[in-house]
Structure 1
Amino acid sequence: MNSASASRAAWRPREGPVVCVGETMAALAPAPAESLERAEGLRLSVAGAESNVAMYLADLGVPVAWLSALGDDALGRRVRAAVGAAGVDVGGVRHDPERPTGLLVKEPAATGTRVHYYRGGSAASALGPEVLKDDRLRSASVVHLTGITPALSRSCLSLVEEALATPPDERPYAISFDVNHRKALWPPGTAAPVLRELADRADLVLVGLDEAQDLWDAGLEPDGVRRLLPHPRLLVVKDGGRSATVFGDEGSWTVPALRTDVVEPVGAGDAFAAGFLTGLLRGADMERALRLGHITAGSALQVTGDHGPLPDKARIEELLGLSAPDWARVNRE
């Protein structure tokens, strides 16, 4: 679809600050990437879907805050400093004196990287609806949530449910929701109905086609995901390294992904979300917003951590300004 008039008419949030809410952990990974059993050294970094989005938004020049809780410990202080150093407002992050900062350990293998979580009873698992009273939400244009948070605890589920309880037309800000299904965090058989219900209440939803198939129906295609989630103003279905499609009331738009040499896929979905959100906030048409999502995702795919450097501004503008045939040609080179 894809007329320019329809693209201009598509819904988008008003321009303004973004608030990201969710847990970030300290992350350990072998350096260089090898088996944990043989590694002689581990690299310490930070890992959290919502803070990944926040850091990429900051890289792209969008004012953004991250709300969460960390332990009152060395790892918590390191996480907060790292996210703040990226240009994110971390003034709303609380340090819990009784609960630890969560920990994630990556285990590289020939079949892909396995992730081990040590986050039970973490400071962030005690988050609840009180987070939504933070003053930063008063001026927010978008609040970004993910399907990870409701899996952490009953209070975290309540936080997300309360954020989505207000009907879209009555919200003071738009709500962006990345499904971000983490199978290890959910008791068997519980994730699918909860995530579908939560996602269908949001204004903007992002979901991978593979995770939609894993959650709801192995035979799903992008338009089938839209039928399952008919209410979001915009639904983005990401088909791996092939393409992304956004569905709105005015129709749908599909843009092929950029061809990228993949070092590690972790964090690419968060980067895509930040790029796409940035495009929307700046009034870009849907194709351009999808392109910015792909460009930002590419920077995450090329590093072992979750947060990689973006191309320089001139290169981003060059890619965004390509004709559709030239964009497709870049993907073949």
Structure 2
Amino acid sequence: MTATDVVCLGESMVTFLPSRPGRLADVPSFTRAIGGAESNVACALAAAGHRVKWVSRVGADGFGDHLVRAVAAYGVDTTAVRRDPHRPTGVYFRTATDRADDRHELVYYRAGSAASAMSPDTVPYEDLTATHVLHLTGITAALSAGCLALVRGLTARRPGRPLLSFDVNHRPGLWRGADPSVLLDLARGADLVLVGDDEAEAAWGLRGAAALREALPEPSVLVVKHGGRGATAYARGAGRPRDGTGARTGAHTGTGAHTGTGAHTGTGAHTGTDTVAFVPAPRVEVVAPVGAGDAFAAGFLSATLRRLDLTRRLRHGHLMAAVALTVPGDLGAPPARAHADRLAALDDDAWGRLHLAPGWTRTGEDQEVRTP
């Protein structure tokens, strides 16, 4: 039996959020929070009721204490987080504006961090395998040569490994002087890949979901995110996640059957050997445009573990992304499962009218979800 539903491997940092908009030079104070793609996914999944473990390294310092406590408070198993007495916990500061805004500033203090010392020698393989799903991102691969070697080893196909989920998460600043095409090689070794069409064009020069599927035929499931427009998913076969012993589990990576009810948005029409679904994103009143990609990954993985059809997996991804978009930080409280399931089951017209505002995850759905 596996100990967890999902293991997330990667660096988390202490995040300092500005008390008001403006340049970092002008912001008088900051609020402490946590940030990190993989720990964000872990926290969101745990808050949604899944058994999750986060594997990482942090410094033997106060920031490391804070990170471990904060992640554990979401219900995440942190027993595999190692403490490094020689390297610090990473931290970063950011402004309140969108990453795409010319005024946006993001300053990392992570060079030489404890997490950058992760490698095949410092992360025990047994910490990663007793699970249905192992979730990685391209951020880890960019942190150091040891981290890249670790991710390369984990994305190598081998009998009995868990279903391997890989979010490309291309961060140009981490790849200065290096070739991000390695991310394409890593993605080819995964079973489930999530990638934004904008980052795919920036890193690999590939444009459009079809071109990405042609370049990534190996993963059983490929999810291409189109920002506020929506997301497209390709699913091949009826493969299911494996546990750490190689036995099949009940959670699907993708179904070969149609996933919708007709020839409309998100209905899972077949293209070749793939089931293909596109689901538009609902309208969201954005508070802070951070953490949405990690939240989308958590929603999609949660629905995958629950064996929902491809359209509903995408819808749950969008709903979880809306949780992050309607709060100031990276993480928000997800809606009750029944609430999310009701929204994910809406017909296409009703889904297209969704308008999610801050507070929509609370009870009193009719007050927070508008369908004008």
Under a length normalisation based on structure 1, what TM-score does the superposition of the two structures give? 0.90
Which of these residues, 211, 230, 237, is aligned with residue 243 of structure 1? 230
Cross-structure match for 2:22:
34
The C-alpha deviation readout for 1:7-42, integer Å capped at 9, x for no partner, is xxxxxxx99510000000111121133332222211
Q: Which amino acid aligns with 1:145?
A: L
Instruction: Kindly tell me the number of residue pairs found equivalent between the two proteins.
Output: 316
Cross-structure match for 1:140:
131
Identity, % of aligned positions: 45
Query: Residue 35 of structure 1: SS of its match in structure 2?
Result: coil
Alpha-carbon separation, structure 1, partners of 2:96 and 2:48: 30
Cross-structure match for 1:164:
155
Query: Residue 24 of structure 2: SS of its match in structure 1?
Result: coil
The C-alpha deviation readout for 1:287-322, integer Å capped at 9, x for no partner, is 011110000000111122111122333421220221
Cα 1:201–1:72 change in 2 (3 A) is same
Unpaired runs of 5+ in structure 2? 237-273, 356-370
Alignment of 1:57 with 2:48, yes or no, is no
Query: Residue 19 of structure 1: SS of its match in structure 2?
Result: strand
Alignment of 1:306 with 2:319, yes or no, is no
Alignment of 1:67 with 2:55, yes or no, is yes
Cα 1:136–1:153 change in 2 (3 A) is closer
Where is the helix percentage greater, Structure 1 or Structure 2?
A: 1
Query: Conserved in 2, the CA contact under 8 Å of 1:52 and 1:306?
Result: yes
Alpha-carbon separation, structure 2, partners of 1:161 and 1:61: 30
Alignment of 1:152 with 2:143, yes or no, is yes
Cross-structure match for 2:163:
174
Cross-structure match for 1:7:
none
Alpha-carbon separation, structure 1, partners of 2:123 and 2:157: 12
Q: Which amino acid aligns with 2:230?
A: S
Cross-structure match for 2:176:
187
Cross-structure match for 1:21:
9
Q: Which amino acid aligns with 2:176?
A: P
Q: Which amino acid aligns with 2:179?
A: T
Query: Conserved in 1, the CA contact under 8 Å of 2:157 and 2:189?
Result: no
Alignment of 1:226 with 2:226, yes or no, is no
Cross-structure match for 2:294:
270
Alpha-carbon separation, structure 2, partners of 1:205 and 1:149: 15
Query: Conserved in 2, the CA contact under 8 Å of 1:300 and 1:307?
Result: yes
Cα 1:264–1:138 change in 2 (3 A) is same
Q: CA deviation at 1:136?
A: 4.1
Counting only pairs closer than 5 Å after superposition, residues 243-262 of structure 1 correspond to structure 2 as 243-249=230-236, 250-262=274-286
Q: CA deviation at 1:134?
A: 4.8
Query: Conserved in 2, the CA contact under 8 Å of 1:132 and 1:163?
Result: no
Q: Return the structure number with greater relative CO, CA threshold 8 A, min gap 6.
A: 1
Alpha-carbon separation, structure 1, partners of 2:161 and 2:204: 31
Alpha-carbon separation, structure 2, partners of 1:251 and 1:153: 37
Moved more, 306-315 or 233-242: 306-315
Alpha-carbon separation, structure 2, partners of 1:296 and 1:172: 27
Cα 1:283–1:305 change in 2 (3 A) is same
Q: What RMSD, in angstroms, separates the aligned Cα atoms of the two structures?
A: 1.8
Under a length normalisation based on structure 2, what TM-score does the superposition of the two structures give? 0.81
Query: Conserved in 1, the CA contact under 8 Å of 2:4 and 2:53?
Result: no
Query: Residue 327 of structure 2: SS of its match in structure 1?
Result: coil
Moved more, 180-189 or 132-141: 132-141
Q: Which amino acid aligns with 1:196?
A: L
Q: Which amino acid aligns with 1:187?
A: R
Alpha-carbon separation, structure 1, partners of 2:75 and 2:29: 29
Which of these residues, 198, 201, 210, is aligned with residue 198 of structure 2? 210
Query: Residue 17 of structure 1: SS of its match in structure 2?
Result: strand
Which of these residues, 345, 349, 366, is aligned with residue 321 of structure 1? 345
Q: CA deviation at 1:213?
A: 1.2
Q: CA deviation at 1:135?
A: 3.7
Unpaired runs of 5+ in structure 1? 1-13
Alpha-carbon separation, structure 2, partners of 1:102 and 1:58: 23
Cα 1:52–1:301 change in 2 (3 A) is same
